[in-house]
Amino acid sequence: MMATLISLRRWTMPAGPLAAMLMVCALAGCATKPPPPVTSSTAELPFDQALAQAADGLVMQTQVPKGLLKKAEPRRGMVVDPMIDAGSAQQTVATQVLQDRVVDHLRARADAIEVLPFDSGNLQKARFLMTGTMTRLAVDQPRGPLRIDLALTELASGNVVAQSSAVTRDEGLDHTPTPYYQDIPVPAKDRVVESYIRTTATPVGQRADAYYLEHVAAAPLIKEATGQYNERRYEEALASYNGAGALPSGDQLRVLNGIYLTSARLGRTNEAQQAFGKLVSYGITNRQLGVKFLFNPDSTVFWSDPNISAPYPMWLREIARASADADVCVDIVGHASHTGTEAYNDNLSLQRARFIRQKLIAQAPALAKRSTPSGMGFRENIVGSGTDDVVDALDRRVEFKIVECKLSS
């Protein structure tokens, strides 16, 4: 119950003869209509078995019979846009393990596929792009089952040519976010990430999400920058994030978060403040902003460690200024993680929403008539792990929803 976050606010085809024949036609150039929808198995499996089932589904759909594969024909290149947790939009230890093992599986079994490093050059020349997600099926069940979704998109046509899924038990999986996702002030689930998630669950034969394809050009640089940040190579990471931001497809939360974080890590205070202001403006424009604040346990006092809470006054100033300047009205809704009683968490989430509201009003008095606090406790969890640590930090949040202002009578 320590963290709070402010927020401005399938169908799959299993491996089988029909799926394999569709992919053969995709690779060999024959014309056919996609088969009708087929529901995949929902049996809960151990993680290793589930990822093998999902990966084998792709293998079956990408395998070209020897009689159709011409001699000396090169293998089809494939790149992987890093896999994420669909609920939190984060890369975690578990999603990294999933990606590494799926790639190893394909390298060992998919003769027609060559896995290439995910960089801008390979994105231009690769035949296929793979995406993958893990989705908790019931956020009110800590350690409940997770669905693995994998999809293969043909870059030239934009069509999903292979899609597979499996359900795994959440046993022994580490859902700790990677350093970048632990540190970002604003959760990264924007329209780009949502379109990535939709693409991963798109049925075979349909087009991948258009918005995702329009913005994928920035993804290799974001992946590179995030890796550099995780390795504490902040100068390089800032250059990479700025490079991604200069692209037409780079206007997204992952980039803005990265520029803020690296500027702050490098002690560039003015640049960091400007970057945070852009994060807030992006959120207000898109009616979806999240800013994480950590509180001392069971209180409405900000976390005592100045290494964590020192930027909070600046964050509040930027949020208040941008909200007042945009002349918007807001519903401030508090949330809590799935620990403690329902009544206790309802009250705590409401008190933290009120605390944040008062801080904003102190900076921009006009918000007193244009904001309303409420508490939802743990009824709208995103992660639902109940671990009460960095894993479920997004569950301990205050949503800041942009609403229409009601005219006074």
pLDDT of residue 99: 98
Read off the pLDDT of residues 105-119 as tens digits, 9 standing for 90 and up: 999 988 888 999 999
Q: Is the residue at 272 inside a domain?
A: no
pLDDT of residue 96: 98
pLDDT of residue 287: 82
Give every residue of the chain whose pLDDT is below 70, as ranges: 1-41, 64-73, 139, 297, 383-389, 391-392, 407-409
Q: Is the residue at 21 inside a domain?
A: yes
- For residue 75, count CB atoms less than 10 angstroms from its CB and return exposed for 0-12, middle for 13-18, buried for 19 or more: middle
pLDDT of residue 377: 85
Query: What are phi and psi for residue 177, nearest 5 degrees?
Result: -65, 155
Cβ neighbours of residue 123 closer than 8 Å, sequence gap 6 or more: 79, 129, 155, 216, 217, 219, 220
The amino acid present at 65, given as its one-letter code, is P
Half-sphere exposure of 234 (CA within 13 A, CB side): 12
pLDDT of residue 83: 98
Q: Is the residue at 117 inside a domain?
A: yes
pLDDT of residue 90: 94
Residue-range definition of the domain harbouring residue 127: 11-184
Q: E strands along 210-306, which residues?
A: 289-294
Q: Which residue has the tokens 């490098």?
A: 266
Q: Is the residue at 270 inside a domain?
A: no
Q: Is the residue at 82 inside a domain?
A: yes
Domain count, the chain: 1
CATH assignment of the domain containing 165: 3.40.50
pTM: 0.86
Q: CA-based angle 403:363:285, to the nearest 5?
A: 35
Q: Is the residue at 54 inside a domain?
A: yes
Q: Determine the Cα–Cα distance for residues 388 and 2; give it in Å rounded to an integer.
A: 8
Q: Is the residue at 24 inside a domain?
A: yes
pLDDT of residue 13: 36
Q: Is the residue at 19 inside a domain?
A: yes
